[in-house]
A and B are shown apart, each in its own frame.
Chain A
Amino acid sequence: MNARSQNKIVMQHVLIFKTNIATAQARSKVAPLLDQQPFIEKWTVDMEDVDCVLRVVAAEPVPDRIIALINASEYECAELED
């Protein structure tokens, strides 16, 4: 087993996105979709923040899948860079 696949097992991936999920109502619309994903361990939206930051702890580093899920709920979502 190489180092990379070992990391895959022990590491959690924290993915950070800028969104427009600004209200509890908006949050409740995306919630079922995110909750259903087996690779998502937990997620939170900071609705106090200007960027309504979505924080996802996932088993896989797949930002594109998260973006697709949020876009499917007709909300904006872009990865927030370091």
Chain B
Amino acid sequence: MRYRDENKIQAIRECAIEMVAKEGLENFGINRLAKAAGVSPATIYIYYKDKEDLLTSISIEEGIKMTQATLKDFDPKMSFKEGLWVQWKNRAAFALDNHLSANFFEQLRNSTYKDKMMETITHEFRRAMGDYVHNAVTRGEIDEMPLEVYWSVAFAPLYSLIKFHNEGQSLGGRKFKFSEKIMKETFDCVVKGLMK
């Protein structure tokens, strides 16, 4: 009789995230995962019926983790500036603490798993973000604009800093380390650009 072993599941999950994050999906398979995780392929098959099932299940769990982290202490009724700062802090903390998880999503983004990943971005998350922007427009804090324009100004600068940090360098090989001070400086420029 086999019992569900949470430690083993955790090891399999972490190993899968790391493998996909570092090497992509192309060479990913149950047998390679089993070797890397130090379990037998049979053990993985106890929990997942195949590679698709495993990747789907992990991306759903990671997606939920990410949305929960992003919505922590956030309220769509917040003033635009306050809400955006909470978002920046949450997103930075998640991306920095879950570097592998972020790369895992990046790999899936370019794959057939994209649709399943998108489903995991919950209704709650979309609504919170939508309401927040709508409230800011209604209060006259920001202009109405296409989502792409909004995201490119509101969040892309933050992800740019995180990317520099992860690579350890910015432009022309300049050494770079992320800090709250740098984040705040960038944030102030973004808020100036977006708010009326």
Contact = CB atoms under 8 A, between A and B. Distances in A.
B51 A55 contact: no
Contacts of A61: 1
Interface string A1-41: 00000010001011010000000000000000000000000
Contacts of B40: 80-82
B51 A48 contact: yes
Interface string A57-80: 000010000000000000000001
A53 B45 CA distance: 8
Contacts, number: 47
Contact of A46 (B1, B46, B49): B49
Contacts of B39: 82
B1 A51 contact: no
A53 B51 CA distance: 11
Nearest to B39: A82
A53 B1 contact: no
A13 B1 CA distance: 7
Contacts of B49: 44, 46, 55
Contacts of A46: 30, 45, 49-51
A14 B1 contact: no
7 contacts: A7-B1, A14-B46, A46-B49, A48-B50, A49-B29, A49-B30, A80-B40
Interface residues of B, number: 15
Contact of B50 (A11, A13, A44): A44
9 smallest CB-CB distances across A and B, nearest first, come from: A80-B42, A46-B50, A44-B49, A16-B42, A16-B45, A14-B46, A55-B45, A55-B49, A53-B45
B51 A11 contact: no
B79 interface: no
Nearest to A80: B42
B186 interface: no
B2 interface: yes
A51 B40 CA distance: 12
B21 to A, nearest CB: 21
Contacts of B24: none
B3 to A, nearest CB: 8
Nearest to A54: B45
B41 interface: yes
Given A7-B1, A50-B31, 14 more contacts: A14-B45, A16-B42, A44-B50, A48-B29, A48-B50, A49-B29, A49-B50, A51-B41, A53-B41, A53-B50, A55-B45, A80-B45, A81-B42, A82-B43
